[in-house]
Structure 1
Amino acid sequence: MADGGGGGEHVVQMMAGGSGPGKVAAPEKWLNRFVRAVVLIERVGNALGTLAFTWATVVLLGGYAKDLHSGDDFIFATIIIFLEAARMFSRNNRIDYQVFFNTRGAFRPLGWNGLTLAACFCAVLKIMWEMRLRMIILMIILFGFGRLLSEVSSRGLKLLICNRMRRAASVWSPLVAIVLLALSTDESLFKDYSMMIYPQKKKDYSMIERAMFLVLLVAVLVATISSLHFTRIRKLVDSVLGNKLEFWCQGIISLCMVAALGMLVYMLKDYDRFRMIIIEVCAVAIMSFGNLQIPAAVVRVVLALIGLMPVDDSDPPYDDENLKASLRIFYWMVLGQGILYAVACMLEFFSFIPRRSLVRCGGFGGQRGVESVNMYYAYALEKCMQGGVLAPKKISLSNFATDYVNSDISKNQLHGIRMMHSFLQREPTKAQLLSKLTASTKTVVRIIKMLDWTCPKDAAIRLYAAKVTAELAKNLRVVTIPGTIQLVSALLDSDSTLQRGNPLLDTDDEQEERQELSMNTEDNQEVKHHSMRNAADNQGKRQDRHQDTDNLLETQIRSTQQVGIDEQKSCILRCWQWIQEFRSIPKEQQLTDHDFLPALAMEIIDSLAGSGQDNCVEIRKAADLISKIIGFTSYRRDIMNTEAQQSILLKSSLKVLQRLTSIGGKIGIILRYEISRHPFLLRNLIEILGDNKSSQELRKLVAANLRNLAVDERARQEIGHVQLIITRLVQAFLNTEEITSVNADRFLRKVAGQALAMLTMQSVQNCLVILQEPEFMMELKIMIHDKMYVYVAASLLRNLCMHARSELRESELKELSHTLREVLERILDVDGAELEILIGLSSQICKVIPEDFTRELDAGQIKQRFAKRLVDTLKANMKPSAHCPGIRRVVLEQVIHLMEYNSRYADCFNAFGVTDALSMVEQTPSKAENYRLFLGDEGFMEYSMPLSDLVARAKELMGCD
């Protein structure tokens, strides 16, 4: 694994993401309150224990050591001192404290493994009992061996024994337990011992009792064999139980263990049954203890009660009243400590309620989500135990995720980064986490550094780090995190590309190295996919267990219906459904085809490019990044991704290119130049446009990229030289057969029209190519009446009239005249950039067919309104904006064309004060009006005629000096 991301010296800048954290209650609020309650009880118990330890050492043993009764008080005080000393010293070591005296985990679920071990203990004890060993020795062995196995088996045994041996012990231990229990009931094995000590003891077990053990043995044997990996047996069992094998095997084994323990009690004589019941209860209790906290609490309570209520009258009473008071104070403190510990442990046993509630409310899915919540619970307990009792502690899921991401343990890092990804999917927690990360430089740098963890065992961490980075990139400034773009660029190389070499340039050893690298990468991907499949299988098995419980519920309901107790049935059903709903775990969100590194890298780059031009500068500096992105704009056979993943990469790469080509300012010019100069870009875009299998969205993205590239004159001319591009754009723009009511289809048509409009600006050749399409002008006439396409069609018509006026046929001029009424009516109603486009079209129509234009003005009786609209537009736009920089220019062109055709229009314009408006335009020139459009602060498509020349021409036609 890569080194931890220090990087604390950097300053990470993140833009504000939204309005900040709202007042929505945190999902972990109830669990935090529960943790604080448990910790408060435990810490009060610790305080009483420390005080009792001090009291015993200083007051009792220090002041009254000679006066204490050696048989009880002195021994009790000594035991308490050693017990408390062990607790206090183990507190300095977190692992030791968890093993021996931690409240968390004082109880643990018994499970079928615990029942099996308890049965083994009882069987061994019964055999030793028959051999008449001392009961005290048996109990010591039982408790000591049980405590050893309960801890070592869960911690050290896994390190000492291989996986196969652990699985063998787990599979065959139930069978061993049944055999031992059966042997312990066979009196013939212990006949000599029994008759030697108890000659009168004799009991012959019936065949029914022996048959019961035989039935249990057969049931456990069947369950054990069916859990083995034998193909024929698995198929046979699966045909009966389906995918519910694990559930039924565990259920059968647990029932057999309980039945065997019951049989052991039943087959004893009356005076031995009570002892065996106590022993079995003790064995089960031992297996339920997670550490020594509960036994130690019981010892404290028992010793304190004995000290407060003496039953031994052999020792004389104390004469010193101070000594009596000191002992009472000491025992009350010990009693309080033991009771508080017991209460804390019992309360902690019910921690599954707030933990399961957090799993459901926090959106944590699957067994990994449950494990993450359990880790947060342990984290919260440990944090609360640190520092002062009343000191405020900032405990939250965000802090937990941040601390675990910064951890040096791989498991903690995985849970931390997964939890961050989960938070970023929901708005309340997303705002909180972004606020936290804004102030946590170390965490952001660590997440970025995780993108470079290429070790196979860190594949999951790297994947989720990429998913988190994709969310953070929307508000992230990478200029102060050196190497971020390079790390993201490296993610694009994780598609296992096998580049073909050139036989004239590459040697054989280089080709072998490439093939070996590809094979290794493929193996790593197979390992990763295999682990994902195993995780999915485990998830399915857990879900099957829940379904099995539901089947048991159905069986209970049917039996209840047979009895005929409808009211009880409905009550049981409601309770059981509530329990099942509470116990159910939300499904874990499965990885999709979008969740692989190259696609996530595309998403990160897209988000970074949209977060500011500083990020775009860094993107441009990254070596070969743009070439890598363009490389994904075609289907490739030399990569290991699936067809679905290749489609996602194709779409993602087109989106990123669209983002980069739409950037304004000087960096936008550089990016468009870097993209347009790629030798394979236009070929790939042509292939997508011409592929009938390409979706409407892909073709729309291609058209959008061509539109953005056409802003620059060099790229516009280069695209125009590839006539096939314009032809396919025209087909996408006019192909009405595929146009449906779906928005994606209509958007494709609009974007294709925008691309054609950009390509025809200041390009006679491109206009001539478009005019070769039959019925093109008629389609534009139709689109003028459609609100969605009116401005695209108007811009295209303007360009065609401006640059290909001499090539327009009579029929096309007739179609052009039919658009006049719609254009003139819209000019009277719209403003801004839309008004600029429409006036620009009307001025060109007026220049091409002035007779039809003036006839339409007179026929519609809108000449006065139209003239007033033009003059008012001049007066209202004395400060041109980047949104519509040429609006005064097109108005002047319209005025000039009308007056050039008929001088009487000068009087009409003069009536509305056009002379004053022209003077104001002359006095307020702007450099922005020399450009057709703006991207950022950069203007494009500069006009050849200055605005001042148009003003002079208009004044000349008006007859002004």
Structure 2
Amino acid sequence: MKYKKGRDAGGGESNGDDGGSRKGGGDVPPSIQLDIMEHRAGGRGSGLGTGGPRSTSFFEPWREQTPGSGSGHGSSGRSGGGGGREPPEKRVTLLALRLAVLEKAASGVGMLDFMWATVVLLGGFASALTITDFWCVTVILVGEGARVFSRSHELEWQHHATQTSTAGGALRSSSRFFRHFVRAMADPAAAAVNGGGGGDARARAEMFQRQVVAFVKQRAWHAPDVSLLPYTGWVFVSRKIGRLLSWLQLLSAFTCVALSLMRLWKHGDLGGDGNMRPALLLFYTLALVEASLFLFEKAYWIWKCSVCRLLQQVSDECELGAYGLVSLNRFFYDAYSRCIAGSIFDGIKMDLVSFAEDLILSDFLDEQIIGVRILERFANSDRSAADTLRKVGTSPRSVERLVEMLNWKRLDEEEVRRCAAEVVSKLAGKRQNALRVSAIPGSIESIMSLLHTGRGPPMSGMHPPQQLVHGAAAADRETSPPAGRGYDHLPFNLLGLRILKKLARDHDNCGKIGNARGLLAKIVGFTEASPALLRNPHVTDSQVRAVKLALQVVKMLVSTTGNTGKALREEVAENVFTVSNLRHILRYGQQHRELQKLSTDVLTGMAMEDSGKDTIVGTGGVVKLLLSIFFNSQDTDLGREAGEALAMLVLESEAGCAAILKRDDVLDQLVSALQDDGDARRLNAARVLRSLCAYSGEKHRERLRAVTKALPAVLHATMVDSDKILEVSLGLTTEICRFIDGQRFAAELRSAGVADERAYVERLASILRQYRYPEIRVPRMRRFVVQQVIWLMTSSGGGRGDDGGGGYVELLREVGMERLLQSIADTTSELECYHVFSGSVGIGKHRESFSAIVDSALELIAGSSDGGA
């Protein structure tokens, strides 16, 4: 089968010129050509059933989007939108490289000086050295030897001593900890006041109690807070040791410079004969060079970080926020340590994303906060988002840890959880990353934990209570935070719904969402909106955002294709709150048009299944609201959505037709809508009228005769319109003709301004020539034309103009209808056998196949020809 890609939905006639150039039936083509329209991600939007640009409808199929066709992947470099600018942290790694070069040069010179002194001076001239030179050499050797051989250990101490805690260092030593612990237990407020000046004493007391709980529950020591010796307080805390070693190294270097300069300045006093004098000169020179390199290294570090404020500049450029310096200080020591411990080029291979990934895998909360903050900032930055999400998305351990963090419910982990949810939300925006997230066992359940409202059964996402956790009970990670003051669930609810919305773009993920126990009920629970809030003119956007996101997720679920979509639509319909919540929005949401549009979209999707139709019809007032919106709404898009929902509701549903016909003036309103200026309103009015005529049953047949008054307008549309309007006009004409005979039809043709019967027959033939192959945008076009041709032949009785029908059989043969029907018989497709479509899957098959209809038409036209002969 050959597929020819057509225009986008809503762009004129796809092959009108091509089809119009073919006269008569022509030769039967060797293959079938279908115009395929791509389904755009999220393309259903608010354009269900409109036929407008970039919109699709359940009345026409769409093709699933392939992973590479616009799924939204950023540029290959981090500088995506930054004009090719280099990542700012490269300046930090370059500083680490330069400092490492100076450090290794100093260490190399120091090692050479040490070996020269021990082998040559102390080994060969020890007895000949003066007392001054002996002690100078000894002091320099001890100081510089200790510095050279302990440099790596000093770096380790400095690295561990890097202040990473966001709590302000309340637990800096064991002795201070126990003092604060006793005070906090006796008088929390007083302990907090003594710990710092000003501010809210109660808030600080609660923060300190949370720190106490976290410290006690932590199963491993935090390196900067470890007291090396008992009863020594802050003196031998590990972070103090690093600072002490740093100052000792500076003291050693200054001592070395002073002694070397002193002896070189008075080189005439260097005693000894022969080679002793040059040996001492070389020793003091090497010692001076080694100490000078070290001091230059320290001076360069101070210049770049304190004077030039390099770390602050990089933090600002990376948009790391208030804790950027803490993060970059730790990042610098990591890079510097790698350059010192291994090759000098090891450190420049580091970047902040990899650094953050390592930190989130840590067991310590302060390190996790630093790592997840960096990822959250980078993921929300236009310049670095693409590269960050690609790197994190391809690291299974990082994705698993971020998903795991979504379950962390302790109050002191609130920021970690929020930042992790932000990153996961960004990851889910990329198709490949979304699949990786959903593939993690338990990921959907972790995301569902974000929807917790703190009120037991989910009610509404609009008013989650403000909550706070008091005391040690807040530290339990496995339980939800207890009700109180401060833990605001709404931001997490919004993030959870946003993640689900992005995951629901993929068909398989929709199935996983539906299979997660209780998740669909929680999502539906967020669609509830009170009348008071909907009517409030001063309501903020954040107050309705949860409802909007929940409606978007439900809409995507009920729009899912295939068997998965069928199961989801039935499950949504089974929820007793779904339609009631949608009814409230339709009734009271005049100030929130977007919510009303989403609600009508959900109703349209639900109405694809019989269970959904029954639920909607059985919920009082929903059909009346849809009719009112369709006839009276000033919002064109909203009226269009309501019209599509009504059209889907009455399709092959006698109960749906009966619900609409309860309104006395509905037929007059629908007939009047056929003459409206808006194509969308005419389109959906014709769809509803056609279904009313076809599926209302004998009970309403007499009342539906009033629809015949619409025939002139429908025939006029058949003659002048095209595309979807033409398709539905032909279908409505076929149904209206069941109430009239050939003579009445001829009169209606003249009322519509059609010159004669031949003009109408030629129009039908031209339509078949134009649509010689099935077209995805108007899949029922040829079916309706052939059905109308059959009615014309049966209503005319095979005559040649002496009856009421006007001799349509002869006219049909004259315009080449028999050859056209033969050509169509060889190009029929399953596409033309369904009322509506769920993606590329047909739903609601016609009672009679299209091929059978074409065969019946050929038999009629051939039989009439034989009878006439």
TM-score (norm 2): 0.70
Instruction: Please state whether the residue corresponding to 2:428 is helix, strand or coil.
Output: helix
**Kept in 2: contact 1:903–1:957 (CA 8 A):** no
| Structure possessing the higher radius of gyration over alpha carbons | 1
1:416 maps to 371
List aligned pairs for 1:709-728, cutoff 5 A.
709-728=606-625
Q: Which residue number corresponds to residue 631 of structure 1?
A: 525
Question: Who is 1:471 aligned against?
Answer: 426
* Deviation at residue 444 of structure 1 after TM alignment: 0.4
Amino acid corresponding to residue 436 of structure 1 in structure 2? K
Cα deviation for residue 669 of structure 1 reads 0.9
State the AA in 2 paired with 1:675: V
Q: Which residue of 2 aligns with 1:786?
A: 678
| Counterpart-to-counterpart distance in 2, 1:98 and 1:318 | 48
In 2: Cα distance, 1:492 partner to 1:712 partner: 28
Q: Partner of 2:150 in structure 1?
A: 89
Cross-structure match for 1:394: 349
**Secondary structure of 2:349's aligned partner:** coil
Partner of residue 76, structure 2: 21
Q: For 1:792-830, what per-residue CA distance to the aligned partner results, in whole angstroms no more than 9, with x for missing partners?
A: 333223323434583556765435533543453222xx3
Matched, 1:930 2:833: yes
Match of 1:916 in 2: 819
Given residue 897 of structure 1, which amino acid in structure 2 is its aligned partner? W
Q: Which residue of structure 1 aligns with residue 449 of structure 2? A: 490
How far 1:893 moved relative to its partner? Answer: 1.7
The corresponding residue for 1:333 is: 289
Q: Which amino acid aligns with 1:839?
A: L
Distance 1:614 1:824 in 2: 45
Other-structure match for 1:825: 720
Q: Give, in angstroms, the shift of residue 727 of structure 1.
A: 0.8
Query: Which residue is equivalent to 1:763?
Result: 653
Distance, in Å, in 2 between the alignment partners of 1:844 and 1:891 is 12
- Does residue 360 in structure 1 map to residue 316 in structure 2? yes
- 2:303 matched residue in structure 1: 347
Shift of 1:956: 3.2
Partner of 2:64: none
Q: In the alignment, is the contact (CA less than 8 A) between 2:409 and 2:480 conserved in 1?
A: no
Say which SS state the counterpart of residue 844 (structure 2) adopts. strand
The match for 2:709 among 814, 818, 826 is 814
Partner of 2:789: 895
| 1:61 and 2:97 aligned | no
Shift of 1:634: 2.3
User: Please, which moves more after superposition, 760-769 or 290-299?
Assistant: 290-299
Which runs of 5 or more structure 1 residues have no equivalent in the other structure?
1-13, 106-150, 172-226, 232-286, 501-516, 530-592, 740-744
Alpha-carbon distance change, 825 to 295 in structure 1, aligned in 2, over 3 angstroms: farther
Deviation at residue 397 of structure 1 after TM alignment: 2.2
Shift of 1:375: 3.9
2:694 equivalent to 1:795: no
- The alpha carbon displacement at 1:486 in A equals 1.7
Q: Does 1:298 align with 2:359?
A: no
- What is the distance in 1 between the residues matched to 2:808 and 2:398? 71
Tell me what 2:391 maps to. 436
Q: 1:807 to 1:392 in 2, by over 3 A?
A: farther
1:665 aligns with 2:562: yes
Match of 2:265 among 296, 309, 314: 309
How far residue 704 of structure 1 moved from its aligned partner, in angstroms, is 1.0
How far the C-alpha of 1:86 sits from its partner, in A, is 4.0
1:774 aligns with 2:665: yes
Deviation per CA, 1:472-514, whole angstroms, max 9, x where unpaired? 22331255311111222233234332699xxxxxxxxxxxxxx
Distance 1:857 1:846 in 2: 18
What amino acid is aligned across from residue 522 of structure 2 in structure 1? K
SS of 1:66's equivalent in the other structure is helix
Contact 1:87 1:97 in 2 (8 A): no
For the residue of structure 1 that corresponds to 2:384, the secondary structure is helix
SS at 2:359 equivalent? helix
Residues 908-917 or 477-486, more deviating:
908-917
Cross-structure match for 1:839: 730
Change (3 A) 1:91 1:813: same
* Equivalent in 362, 365, 370 of residue 407 of structure 1: 362
**Partner Cα distance (1:56, 1:842) in 2:** 110
Question: Post-superposition shift, 1:701?
Answer: 1.8
* Structure 2 residue 435 is matched with structure 1 residue 480: no
The question of 1:690 aligning with 2:751 is answered no
Q: For residues 353 and 621 of structure 1, what CA distance do their matches in structure 2 show?
A: 53
Measured in 2, the distance between the counterparts of 1:34 and 1:809 equals 84
The equivalent of 1:748 in structure 2 is 638
- The amino acid across from 1:866 in the alignment is R
**1: CA distance, partners of 2:114 / 2:737:** 104
* Whole-angstrom CA distance in 1 between matches of 2:721 and 2:256: 92
Residues 1:607 and 2:502 are matched in the alignment: yes
> How far is 1:906 from its partner?
4.0
Cα shift readout 1:420-457 (whole Å, capped 9, x = no counterpart):
22222234422101221232110001111112222232
Work out whether residues 594 and 645 of structure 1, in 8 Å CA contact, stay in contact via their aligned partners in 2.
Answer: no
Q: Secondary structure at the match of 2:822?
A: helix
SS of the residue aligned with 2:439?
coil
Whichever residue aligns with residue 754 of structure 2, its letter is: D
CA contact (8 A) 2:660 2:666 kept: no
Higher relative contact order (CA 8 A, sep 6+): 2
Q: Does the aligned pair in 2 maintain the 1:871–1:909 contact within 8 Å? A: no
Query: Which residue of 1 is the match for residue 411 of structure 2?
Result: 456
State the Cα distance separating 1:629 from its structure 2 match: 2.0
Q: Distance in 1 between matches of 2:770 and 2:297?
A: 84
Residue 754 (structure 2) pairs with residue 858 (structure 1): yes
Counterpart secondary structure, 1:700? helix
Alpha carbons 1:304, 1:334 under 8 Å: kept: no
Count of residues paired in the alignment? 689
How many Å separate the matches in 1 of 2:319 and 2:338? 23
C-alpha displacement at 1:769, in angstroms?
A: 3.2
Any idea what SS the aligned residue of 2:754 has?
A: helix
Structure 1 counterpart SS, 2:424? helix
Q: Secondary structure at the match of 1:934?
A: strand
Give TM-score scaled by structure 1 length.
0.64
C-alpha contact (below 8 Å) 2:715/2:729 kept by paired residues: no
State the distance in 2 between where 1:945 and 1:729 align: 31
- The CA distance in 2 between the partners of 1:928 and 1:885, in whole Å, is 6
1:323 to partner: Cα distance: 1.9
What is the aligned partner in structure 2 of residue 674 from structure 1? 571
Preserved CA contact (<8 Å) 1:873 1:888: no
Residues 601-657 of structure 1: CA deviation (Å, up to 9, x unaligned): 2222222121x22222222221122222223332589xxxx9987744333322221
Cα distance in 1 for residues equivalent to 2:826 and 2:199: 94
> Is this contact kept in 2: 1:21–1:431, CA < 8 A?
yes
Q: Work out whether residues 710 and 716 of structure 1, in 8 Å CA contact, stay in contact via their aligned partners in 2.
A: yes
Distance across 1 between alignment mates of 2:247 and 2:768: 91
Going from structure 1 to structure 2, the CA distance change for 1:99 and 1:412 (only over 3 Å counts) comes to: closer
Q: Structure 2 matches for 1:176-325, cutoff 5 A?
A: 291-310=247-266, 313=269, 315=271, 319-320=275-276, 323-324=279-280
Distance between the aligned counterparts of 1:614 and 1:83, measured in 2?
65
Q: Do residues 41 (structure 1) and 102 (structure 2) align?
A: yes
Aligned equivalents of 1:707, 1:956: Cα separation in 2: 39
What is the CA deviation profile of residues 82-124 of structure 1, one whole-angstrom value per residue up to 9, with x for unaligned ones? 3432453252364524599x9x99xxxxxxxxxxxxxxxxxxx
Name stretches of at least 5 consecutive residues in structure 2 with no aligned partner.
1-66, 184-189, 203-242, 460-475, 532-538, 796-804
Q: Within 2, Cα distance between the matches of 1:467 and 1:330?
A: 55
Q: Would the alpha carbon gap of residues 634 and 467 (structure 1) be closer, same or farther in structure 2, given more than 3 Å must change?
A: same
Taking only aligned residues, the RMSD between alpha carbons, in angstroms, comes to: 4.0
Q: Which amino acid aligns with 1:659?
A: M
Structure 1 residues 869, 300: closer, same or farther in 2, change over 3 A? Answer: farther
Shift of 1:291: 3.9
For 1:483, give the aligned amino acid. G
Percent identical residues: 25
Measure the CA separation in 2 of the matches of 1:99 and 1:609: 44
Q: Which has the higher helix share?
A: 1
- State the alpha-carbon separation in 1 of the partners of residues 823 and 110 from structure 2: 91
Equivalent position amino acid for 2:686 in 1: A
